[in-house]
Amino acid sequence: MEMKETMYGQYGGTFLPELLMPVVHRVAEAFERVRDDETFCQRLDGLLTDYAGRRTPLFLAENLSKRLGGPKIYLKREDLCHTGSHKINNVLGQLLLARTMGYSRVIAETGAGQHGVATATAAALLNLSCTIYMGEEDVARQSLNVYRMKLLGAVVVPVSSGSRTLKDATNEAIRSWAACAEDTFYAIGSVVGPHPYPAMVTHFQSVIGKEAREQIFEKEGRLPDAALACVGGGSNAAGLFTAFLDDPVDLYGAEAGGEGLDTDRHGAALSRGTAGIFQGMRTLILQDDVGNIQPAHSVSAGLDYPGVGPLHAHLKDTGRAVYEAVTDREAMEAYELLARTEGIIPALESAHALGLAGRISHRFSPEDILLICLSGRGDKDTLRFQEEGGRDHE
Ligand SMILES: *Cc1c(COP(=O)(O)O)cnc(C)c1O
């Protein structure tokens, strides 16, 4: 599949105010120039290795495999990246591009603060001034991440419109971008937004799948039978899936089932969304009959988003990938199970992929191999786990 395209089937594209069209065109041109440029790639590889901690391990989770009673389960350990998740891969790429283009300032949206922290981190490293837009509700809920961003030198702007969460922070970031695009680069945190962002973020995250493919060949001498990842906007999944698109490997995405698909409290844009225009792209979104965006819900802030990257909407339509909704409850069970069996506390986002593995493992035999992207670490989620009625571990 050609990933340089503007459209993914009927999804993607560029739907922005006129004012921003030349701005994203400049980003698209610059990205095409650097993606295969030797100097840029060497610089980025160096940062990914020496700063972010790549390549991340591929770990055979033997205890979990036994417990689930099916296939061998391998975990791609993105939780071991600097700042605790895969987000740093993308941010280092985009901010290095921003430097290359001569920008002195970067803005970003953030939900729980993970993309905000990663952006503030890379901005400190690359000497860019940094402003992060964050919904007031999230600022209140995620005070530790707000503190981290400020410590890293970023300005955090609380957004008070709408539901005062990620969707509103993104709208505000796009609005303010239009006013300051002269000197400011917009770093988007997932495979969403107008072209070239979905393609660019997929490219910067494709290091996950590239490494995992090499590692599974080193360890097993063959391809996995299936690859699984959680899907918020869909960047860790895109980064894993792209390495296997042309191979006989089943691809599974786990989206936020929240309190169940028969309630209105979930974030399952692939299972329950309809096509529409949202935040610069055409994709599947949770909306009512007249196109009002419906608030998403998930126990994990990173999956709490009413849209999804256009690549995934297309992979769903073509049947190349299968997406299933995993509930809050299933994710919390998987969170605890991985902690108990392997001594690894996963992010609640990643726990959705683990929950899906538990659900489908009976379809596989003990010789089969499942490759799961463990997108982040779960220290950030321990309080949430307790609040949501997870067992008290005194
Ligand atoms: C942000 C985040 C996600 C969701 O984002 P994607 O773009 O879907 O990958 C998943 N896991 C972790 C740990 C995150 O921080």
pLDDT digits (tens, 9 = 90+) for 171-213: 999 999 999 999 999 999 999 999 999 999 999 999 999 999 9
Is 358 found in the same domain as 224? yes
Give the strands of the sheet with 58-60, arranged side by side.
58-60, 72-77, 369-374, 226-230, 250-258, 321-327
Domain count for the chain: 2
- Return the pLDDT at 389: 74
Instruction: Please report the pLDDT score of residue 29 as a whole number.
Output: 97
Let me know whether 43 and 68 are in one domain: no
Confidence of residue 133 (pLDDT cuts 50, 70, 90): very high
Span 262-272, pLDDT tens digits: 999 999 999 99
264 and 125 together in one domain: no
CATH assignment of the domain containing 116: 3.40.50.1100
Protein residue with least CA distance to atom 10, ligand 1? 349
Residues 259 and 239 in one domain: yes
- State the catalytic residues: 87, 109, 375
> Mutate which of 88, 91, 114, 312 to test ligand 1's pocket (most atoms within 8 Å of Cβ)?
114
Residues 6+ apart with CB under 8 A from 164: 135, 136, 137, 138
Tell me which residue range forms the domain holding 293: 56-84+205-387
Residues 100 and 226 in one domain: no
Residues 158 and 267 in one domain: no
Determine which residue's CA is closest to atom 1 belonging to ligand 1.
302
**Do 171 and 303 lie in a common domain?**
no
The pLDDT of residue 391: 58
289 shares a domain with 354: yes
Mean pLDDT of 256-279: 96
How far is residue 372's CA from residue 394's CA, in Å, rounded to a whole number? 30
Domain boundary among 147, 178, 201: 201
CA of 378 to the centre of ligand 1 (A): 12
What would the mean pLDDT of 280-286 be, rounded to a whole number? 97
Among 179, 201, 223, which residue terminates a domain?
201
Ligand 1 atom index nearest CA of 231: 8
User: Of the residues 162, 183, 201, which one is the last residue of a structural domain?
Assistant: 201
Probe residue for ligand 1, chosen from 75, 76, 86, 165 as the CB with the greatest number of ligand atoms within 8 Å: 86
Using CB distances shorter than 6 Å, the residues near ligand 1 are 85, 87, 114, 190, 230-236, 302-303, 347, 349-350, 375-376
